[in-house]
Amino acid sequence: MTVFRAEETDARPVLRPHAEDAFADELSALAAADDRPRPARWRLSPWAVSTYLLGGELPGGTVITPKYVGPRRIVEVAVSTLATDRALLLLGVPGTAKTWVSEHLAAAVSGDSTLLVQGTAGTAEEAVRYGWNYAQLLANGPSRDALVPSPVMRAMAEGRTARVEELTRIPADVQDSLITVLSEKTLPVPELGDEIQAVPGFNLIATANDRDRGVNELSSALRRRFNTVVLPLPETAEAEVDIVARRVEQLGRSLDLPAPPDGTAEIRRVVTVFRELRDGVTADGRTKLKSPSGTLSTAEAISVVTGGMALAAHFGDGVLRAGDVAAGVLGAVVRDPSSDDVVWQEYLEAVVRERDGWKDFYRACREVSA
């Protein structure tokens, strides 16, 4: 049996480094140049955290790449919220970079984005509060040594930023276990007659998908504990193309995919298709369209183009072409065959077929749709 030791695995490259590792150089440069006041236990000042998210150039010439492309005020409100005693709720449709922003905020503020609770329908209260080492519990009874802290408890004790993903997927009674944590900044441990009190620097970032409204809606008591920031879809096609191109380049490097000579044209076509079907109207405003059941988010566009790059690299000549993205576009659009297929076929015939310079894309889409 092979035993993997920590010192062996730590040196190996990972498929997706945590934000604080992937952008360690930028975070270090910002910390060195940052002479503004920092809240307790923050690695950077609020100004530097915003610069890390939005990008910029430091006095020494170091370029900070943008992690989020969107309104500056949204990021400033999110960062300033974390500097108060209010928790932050990032709300938006799927694919608006809620998780991405959450991770980078935690990395910039605390230097650690791993204190994470992943919300699902099966998330238990122990994931939010604490659990027990049952071997020690049975042997010695309840004690601090037998207690297994949750990421939230660890963040409270260490003055760090905890993250809760997909908050509205978590059962309502488990959600409400956060109320005392967020209002009183304490987590009672009745089995020990004790409590864990949050130290300065602690805060919590939650994300929620507004398409999940009605699944496990937040109680009014819990919602009041959050300052809600809505992350919108990219305002313009150019902004969305830029986001997709940046993320595809990063993913391509991590997956060791050869960079195509220039995939901007196909990225632009994928983004155009998604935006038009999402908005229910063509870019020129002349043709009304039916929208499919899926979200056709920026994240899905990134996935489609990344898949196309893999096809081009391993089964083509390395140039990203219409045939490489057609199957991915079809899979993203047609989620419900009974209704979405009609929407897609109408779009192909009424829009794609008649558009100048799109004949290759039309033929590729017809082939995979057959």
CATH of the domain at 225: 3.40.50.300
Phi first, then psi, for residue 36 (nearest 5°) are -95, 160
148 and 221 assigned to the same domain: yes
Q: Are residues 313 and 171 in the same domain?
A: no
CA–CA dist 277, 348 (Å, integer): 11
Residue 4 domain flag:
no
In a domain, 22, yes or no: yes
For the chain, what is the domain count?
A: 2
Domain check: are 196 and 290 in the same one? no
- Among 215, 230, 245, identify where a domain stops: 230
Cβ neighbours around 285 below 10 Å, total? 8
Alpha carbon distance, N-terminus to C-terminus of the chain: 49
Query: Rounded distance, CA 280 to CA 347, Å?
Result: 10
CA distance 33 to 16: 27
> What pLDDT, on a 0 to 100 scale, did the predictor assign at position 215?
66
Residue pair 292/348 in contact by the 8 Å Cβ criterion = no
Q: Among 200, 230, 260, identify where a domain stops.
A: 230
pLDDT value, residue 318: 86
Q: Same domain, yes or no, for 196 and 315?
A: no
Q: Does residue 250 sit in the same domain as residue 202?
A: no
Q: Does residue 198 share a domain with residue 328?
A: no
Residues 6+ apart with CB under 8 A from 219: 172, 175, 176, 179
β-partners of residue 57 are 63
CA 238 to chain CA mean position, Å: 21
Please tell me whether residues 187 and 280 are part of one structural domain. Answer: no
The total number of residues written for the chain in this structure: 370
Assigned domain for 80 exists: yes
**Other beta carbons within 10 Å of 14:** 11
Domain that holds residue 285: 237-369
User: Within this chain, do residues 296 and 147 fall inside the same structural domain, yes or no?
Assistant: no
Asked if residue 100 belongs to a domain, the reply is: yes
Buried b / exposed e across 314-334, counting CB within 10 Å, b at 16+? eebeeebbbbbbbbbbbebbb
- Pairing mode of beta strands 203-209, 186-189: unpaired
Does a structural domain hold residue 90? yes
What does the alpha-carbon distance between residue 67 and residue 246 come to, in Å, rounded to a whole number? Answer: 9
pTM: 0.88
Amino acid occupying residue 71: P
The answer to whether residue 1 sits within a structural domain is no
CA distance linking residue 160 with residue 150, whole number of Å:
13
Report the relative pairing of strands 186-189 and 87-92 from DSSP bridges.
unpaired
Cβ 369 vs Cβ 345: under 8 Å: yes
Residue 160 lies in a domain: yes
Tokens of 27: 């975070």
Q: H or E stretch including 19?
A: helix 19-22
Task: Judge if 69 and 29 occupy the same domain.
Answer: yes
Tens-level pLDDT at each residue, the chain (370 residues): 444 444 444 567 788 899 999 999 999 999 999 999 999 999 999 999 999 999 999 988 889 999 998 899 999 999 999 999 999 999 998 888 999 999 999 999 999 999 999 999 899 999 999 999 999 988 888 999 999 999 999 999 999 999 999 999 999 999 999 999 999 999 999 999 999 999 999 999 999 987 655 567 889 999 999 999 999 988 899 999 999 988 888 888 877 877 666 678 899 999 999 999 999 999 999 999 999 988 898 989 999 999 999 999 889 888 899 999 999 999 999 999 989 999 999 999 999 999 999 999 999 999 998 6
Q: Which domain-ending residue is among 214, 230, 246?
A: 230
34 and 103 inside one domain: yes
In a domain, 5, yes or no: no
**Residues 211, 288 share a domain:** no
Q: Are residues 282 and 209 in the same domain?
A: no
